[in-house]
Structure 1
């Protein structure tokens, strides 16, 4: 959930997954089969293939997961790219024997029940049952889950473990260790669910500093100063949206504000800093502070959180606001977000000064 918005994105994602599971992964099961169960926990897989439809393009991360699983299970090189399921599914025995140059053998080992199981590759698909292969690269260190419809009823379950060791596989113990249901149960123990926000982040680098001061009508003014490097490699091109939220878990109230900053892309000095300030008047208390900087056009976002104690500034005793480290303090009559009384206070969110640079310190005293 992103506290800087009024929408519960995680709850929305859950409802969407429920709808997808009911719509596409129910078959003859209610409310859904094993595919729906996995989808509810982990969402859309990074790669999905199924009987008669195996995409030939996959990411390097997906390929790594498949290659590692194949090396765990098999002693021979695959016949073609691993576009289908690496875990063996029930297949034609005659074609299986041919693929390992065993055609014509008539001994018991070549005709056991376990011999009729094979992976599905771009060069070989002898499967006798409908199957689906899902790959998640960030769950369980990377895993493939294979589902099969053994009865042809539309009800998919985890692919079963062969009753006997198929020819070309390392051992029945390896098959059991890498079975889809085993993988899944281990993953659930380590990561019960996975939620990936819509922005699919590349990190956006920024700094922030927070200070409070006396506000009006018994409120306290909370200022969050943002500092973003003017470097397209760090924050991308395009406009930026800065957001902050203060959430009070006792009263269940949230205070939010945001602003879009139009950047001047002609500034390219990597040492330059874009500075802005967001302000919220809130009652004194303890809050969960969330600050976010986002560049939607560049698919970059960063969200930082901390617990924040907001002071109460009465008028019965001598008090001082939080001090603000400033890069520059000048007299001004321009009314902008940096104005404090008759001064323009430009904060320095990095809290870092160059050698020889003057340091400003601004604070207010009340009595």
Structure 2
């Protein structure tokens, strides 16, 4: 409470300051109105005097109302006067509210004021007090939304189901008030309930055209569903309605950029140049396949929005927790004082164990938190025998903090695994890093470790070395798919990069069309950045595939290609299930080779089938300059996984064969397949399709060779290989082509996996 009696409470938009009288009064009256002898007017007069800070006059007015027969209302008013006078009078306020209920046990306003005062004090009686008010008058809506608001503020996502019930009751009674919807969207957003938000987004946008409070939740949900451009539309509309001061908080790059970037941005005066720099900044940090940078930017806005709502009680725009959250996002594990914390996750526990033994402390029990500092640093015995840290308390020792509130955040994917500890020493909601422990009896070596691992020092080092960390949007639901890449000679001196997508329908949801049919709606995107001119390329397509009920699961196969100059690139491959909102993205560095005029071979494409007869036009292979009669139809197998006993197919193209004096080409082809000894390679298929080269000292399982003649310098080549004699596991396929006219040799390799049925 401020000096003027102002209470700080969390509302459905942001944490803001409202006066207690703001939710105790339904109006004000003039001084003259209170002179008429009407007890109602006298009550309203007293409320107005509280609002103006005239507590003595208000007290007199309420006492007069009691004498006029309005005992319950007057006693309730005296309770409000005590609240306005400050914390030392809260006990008396409770007494007046209870006496008011004693005068009229159905006077729900007094019960709500009891609940409100409990909520301000954040004590354990708050929920029961609000529940009692709701039971007294189920149709009075304040109890529902105020209790929901309190639960969101104090328990966060843990209170989600209870918040949903309360807000459903509120919305049922107040269908035209957006406040309930806004708070509901915030609660769903904090629980990453993407589908639930998206299911009602169109209704909210249509019903409340001028309301912007729920737009951040919609922006978060669309980003999590892979719709980053739509997400930014929601964020842009939200920020356009915000104050200039608030917009500057969202667009402040000082919390996520290095010093050089910040200095360069400040030096720019032209707004269009500033926006271009900001766009490039986000694009370079974007994990999505868009070229706008909207994925990273939308996630940054979400983090700022979350920090303002959750970490701004004691500091503006937010405290140190917000600074960390905006840079690094949601921690892998979070524990707090005064809460039943879950056990640490596996990744978090590994970080905690390492830090605990690196720092070298003996944490006292929770009940002895105030004991002498020296007890933390008793002899740990054999340093080679690691000991386990306490279950949920911070690893970093909190000494001399008394009853201060604390939070411990563990990040396993930044800085090699770190812990940030925050404390609220003044109990005013402003969390900061703790003080470094000090004591005459602390060994110098221990003190050095405490300084080294101090959360503030860790933060400063990380902020300079890794100013931010973005991967996937909060609430992202991963979609598993396969992909593979191959390069062929393209047009006008370029190389054609082909990307093959394989999406198992078992991981998709059906979308129902207006005509009653069901389909799988799959959006595919590939982007390529880099090359000799540092260019960016993007290709996007949406496919609809029949999905009748009862159809067995299958893998949807698609192809996308780009003709680009040879060079080093960064490839992003993204697939979105439009029905469920799940999406997946994989990135890899690719080297696009130049196809010389001399003998060369394209990549080996491992295929489900290869046919010289037309099948699916999407998979037609044509080499420029050759008769279309030589075209081949190749259906790729992005997983490169074949069942043992079923033949597998290889397709590739040979370029630059030399003709002899008779205009003929003569060349020899050899194929070998050998079992792979692959150490340390990544998972196959869904996670990776580019493999480390492995060595094998075994004899090839299959070795095939033949000679061929032709009339063209370029030829498509394909072969079917029997797998009956091959061993299950990973196998390396090597193709060597020897030009018998020029004597040149070209080789290519590929890895395939053979699995038992």
TM class, shorter-chain normalised? 0.5 to 0.7
Please state which structure has a larger fraction of its residues in strand.
Answer: 1
Following the alignment from structure 1 to structure 2, what is the Cα–Cα distance between the partners of residues 146 and 22? 19
Counterpart for residue 38 of structure 1: 324
In structure 1, which of residues 55, 59, 76 is the aligned counterpart of residue 345 of structure 2? 59
Deviation at 1:43, TM superposition (A): 1.0
- 5+ residue gaps, structure 1: 91-115, 118-126, 268-272, 312-317
Across the aligned residues of Structure 1 and Structure 2, the Cα RMSD in angstroms comes to 4.7
- Matched residue SS, 2:472: coil
Contact 1:73 1:169 (C-alpha < 8 Å) held by counterparts? no
> Offset of 1:164 from its aligned partner?
1.9
Alignment of 1:152 with 2:455, yes or no, is no
Distance 2:454 2:570 in 1: 44
Q: Which residue of 1 aligns with 2:488?
A: 211
Q: For CA contacts below 8 A with separation 6 or more, give which structure has more relative contact order.
A: 1
Shift of 1:213: 2.9
CA displacement at 1:83 relative to structure 2:
1.8
Q: Would the aligned equivalents of 1:76 and 1:168 in 2 still touch at CA under 8 Å?
A: no
Q: Is the 8 A contact 1:245 1:291 kept in 2?
A: yes
1:122 matched residue in structure 2: none
Cα drift, residue 248 of structure 1: 6.9
Q: Deviations over 1:232-267 (max 9, x none)?
A: 9xxx84477643224478596643124559699657
Q: Quote the residue 1:182 is aligned against.
A: 457
Q: 1:245 aligns with which of 485, 508, 527?
A: 527
| Alignment correspondent of 2:586 | 302
Q: 1:246 to 1:141 in 2, by over 3 A?
A: closer
In 2, distance between residues paired with 1:351 and 1:85? 47
How far apart, CA to CA, are the structure 1 residues paired with 2:322 and 2:481?
A: 34
Equivalent residue for 1:164?
Answer: 439
Structure 1 contact 17–39 (Cα < 8 Å) conserved = yes
In structure 1, what is the Cα distance between the partners aligned to 2:436 and 2:398? 9
Structure 1 range deviating more: 69-78 or 180-189: 69-78
Which residues of 2 match residues 279-294 of structure 1 at below 5 A?
Answer: 279-280=561-562, 288=569, 290-292=571-573, 294=575
Q: How does 1:223-262 map to 2 (within 5 A)?
A: 223-226=497-500, 237-238=507-508, 242-247=524-529, 254-259=537-542
Are the structure 2 counterparts of residues 165 and 201 from structure 1 closer, same or farther at C-alpha, using a change threshold of 3 Å? farther
Aligned to 2:618: 337
Shift in alpha-carbon separation, 1:252–1:86, aligned structure 2, 3 A? same
The CA distance in 2 between the partners of 1:324 and 1:163, in whole Å, is 64
**Cα distance change on mapping 1:64 and 1:202 into 2, 3 Å:** farther
Are the equivalent residues in 2 in contact too, given 1:213–1:322 (CA < 8 A)?
no
- The answer on whether the counterparts of 2:363 and 2:397 sit within 8 Å (CA) in structure 1 is no
5+ residue gaps, structure 2, are 1-285, 368-389, 509-519, 622-627, 656-711, 714-757
How has the CA–CA distance of structure 1 residues 169 and 135 changed in structure 2, closer, same or farther, with 3 Å as cutoff? Answer: farther
Alpha carbons 2:483, 2:500 under 8 Å: kept:
yes
Cα distance in 2, alignment partners of residues 350 and 57 from structure 1: 37
Say whether the 8 Å CA contact 1:4–1:257 is kept in structure 2: no
- Answer 1 or 2: which has greater helix percent: 2
Answer whether contact 1:289 1:308 (CA < 8 A) is retained: no
Is contact 1:325-1:351 (8 Å) kept? no
Inter-partner Cα distance in structure 2 for 1:69 and 1:325: 48
TM-score (normalised: structure 2):
0.34
Q: Taking structure 1 as the reference length, what is the TM-score of the superposition?
A: 0.64
Paired position in structure 1 for 2:691: none
Shift of 1:145: 1.2
Show the counterpart of 2:398.
89
Aligned 8 A contact 2:524 2:576 in 1? no
1:10 equivalent to 2:291? Answer no
SS of the residue corresponding to residue 89 of structure 1 reads coil
Are the counterparts in 2 of residues 89 and 129 from structure 1 also a CA contact under 8 Å?
A: no
Moved more, 136-145 or 51-60: 51-60
CA contact (8 A) 1:244 1:289 kept: no
Pair 1:258–1:304, CA change in 2 (3 A): farther
Match of 1:75 in 2: 362
C-alpha change, 1:56 and 1:223, in structure 2 (3 Å) is closer
Residue 287 of structure 1 contacts residue 310 of structure 1 at CA under 8 Å; is this kept in 2?
no
Distance 1:193 1:10, change over 3 A: same
